[in-house]
Structure 1
Amino acid sequence: MKKIRIALVDDHKLFREGLKSILEQNEDFEILFDAENGRLFLEHPNISKVDVVLLDIQMPEMDGIEATKKLRETNQDIKIIILSMHDEDQFILHLMEIGANGYLLKDTDTDEVVSAIRKVSDSGIYFSDYVSRAMLRKMNKNTAAGSKVFNYKTDLSTRELEVLKHICEGLTTTEIGDVMCISPRTVEGHRLRIMEKLGVNNTAKLVAFAIKNNLVD
């Protein structure tokens, strides 16, 4: 069984140790290392081995926002789950736009944390209920204001728009294939073409772009 290799980044040692203890109870998880701020995480010699990082927002020296930006300058493969006390819509959507793959409040139930890690590892993105609601409110606001700047829909085929809709619903590649009666490989082909057309380089940015520009109904 291939394990999901995880890094924990938070400036509170007790929080890191508690989360590490919980996650290590899962046989498919391996905690590679932990760090107390973004700078130490980015400088860690084992960073290239990380599959998923749980990244706190508020930390000294380098916070989670800056660490996300810097990581995405050089690495698109590591999945980033943001840990925060903030649930404001614009804050959540901004983190997605700069490359976060998931967003969890710090008082989230441990079962959801475990589920989020597995989901981002598998599909590249995780939507909690409040993230989904934030995106829905953004979509409704865009629709009411007519704020779409470019008609990107004209560049996407009907099939691609359907794939994009399912991606924004948080479905995995396999789940999308089952719904659309196509192979996972075909789904991935559609995903790559959509990303190329829209000029984004990962699934999280794709979803944020789609929501911001009202591409899905």
Structure 2
Amino acid sequence: MQLKILIADDHPIFLTGLKEVIETDEGLKVVTSARNGKEALQQFQAYSNLDVVVLDINMPVMSGLEAAEQLLQIKPDLPVIILTMHKEKAPFMKSLEIGVMGYVLKENAVSDIVHAIYKVMDGNSYLSPEISSYLLKRNAFKTKQENEPDLLGLLTPAENQIIRMIAAYKSSREIADELFISEKTVFNHRMNISKKLNITGKNSLLRFALDHF
């Protein structure tokens, strides 16, 4: 059975190319497309059985982030991927805040998009490697603010190790493989960390990790 996908971009040539790239995988089918965020919302409501939505971040009438926010209010568990030309941290953090699962650099869409679709369908976050590398370099120069509570002091050494790996954009499977533990153990660690730090919500643990490393 093919996954049903909605794509949205205001550049017709890119939209056509993106559809062709996605459909090189026999398991994926672009069933509809849109030229702006408002059209994407309308198409989403017209096709009630969509599996994944791919949105350009900069579109007229309504941006990709605005559309994503409304889509995720309608269906909170919807896998949404944002396409972007830029590597800035602010829009990326905003996308995490509203529940976006994938964030793909447009110049690498040909190589990244199919992998991103399967990752978000499995419930994992996906970030283009070039963006993650850029953000990690920026975070390396970040200094801890004075009077900030030492929340990481609440965690065990094992939990600190895992949250550092989360900040490096590693999936639960990748963490499990590197530490020679099961994915279930990683899941339990993630749950314990979230409970200790009193954080809830989609992408909340990743956002915390990025803010502290």
Q: TM-score range by the shorter chain?
A: 0.7 to 0.9
More contact order relative to length (CA 8 Å, sep ≥ 6): 1
Q: Which amino acid aligns with 2:140?
A: N
Look up the match of 1:206. 205
User: CA offset at residue 123 of structure 1?
Assistant: 5.1
Query: Is 2:14 the partner of 1:12?
Result: no
Distance 1:30 1:164, change over 3 A: farther
In 1, distance between residues paired with 2:147 and 2:139?
10
In 2, distance between residues paired with 1:137 and 1:69?
28
Structure 2: tracts of 5 or more residues without a match? none
Query: Is 2:180 the partner of 1:181?
Result: yes
Look up the match of 2:72. 72
Query: Is 2:44 the partner of 1:30?
Result: no
Paired residues for 1:82-121 under 5 Å: 82-108=82-108, 110-121=110-121
In 2, distance between residues paired with 1:109 and 1:149?
38
In 2, distance between residues paired with 1:99 and 1:78?
9
Alignment identity in percent?
33
Structure 1: tracts of 5 or more residues without a match? none
- Report the secondary structure of 2:134's partner residue: helix
Q: How many residues align?
A: 211
In 2, distance between residues paired with 1:52 and 1:103?
13
User: CA offset at residue 47 of structure 1?
Assistant: 5.8
- Report the secondary structure of 1:40's partner residue: helix
Distance 1:42 1:153, change over 3 A: same
Alignment deviations for residues 65-102 of structure 1 (CA, whole Å, 9 cap, x no partner): 21222233343322222112223333333333433323
Task: Judge conservation of contact 1:9–1:56 (CA < 8 Å) in 2.
Answer: yes
User: CA offset at residue 46 of structure 1?
Assistant: 5.7
User: CA offset at residue 3 of structure 1?
Assistant: 4.2
Paired residues for 1:36-185 under 5 Å: 36-43=35-42, 44-45=44-45, 49-108=49-108, 110-122=110-122, 124-143=124-143, 146=145, 149-185=148-184
Q: Which amino acid aligns with 2:199?
A: G
Q: Which amino acid aligns with 1:83?
A: L
Task: Judge conservation of contact 2:105–2:131 (CA < 8 Å) in 1.
Answer: no
Distance 1:46 1:210, change over 3 A: farther
In 2, distance between residues paired with 1:154 and 1:75?
36
Cα-Cα RMSD: 2.7
Q: Which amino acid aligns with 1:172?
A: S
TM-score normalised to the size of structure 1? 0.80
- Report the secondary structure of 1:103's partner residue: strand
Task: Judge conservation of contact 1:92–1:103 (CA < 8 Å) in 2.
Answer: yes
Task: Judge conservation of contact 1:6–1:32 (CA < 8 Å) in 2.
Answer: yes
In 2, distance between residues paired with 1:57 and 1:94?
11
In 1, distance between residues paired with 2:48 and 2:149?
37
Q: Which amino acid aligns with 2:96?
A: M
Task: Judge conservation of contact 1:174–1:184 (CA < 8 Å) in 2.
Answer: yes
Distance 1:79 1:138, change over 3 A: farther
Alignment deviations for residues 85-129 of structure 1 (CA, whole Å, 9 cap, x no partner): 223333333333433323223222512222222233335212323
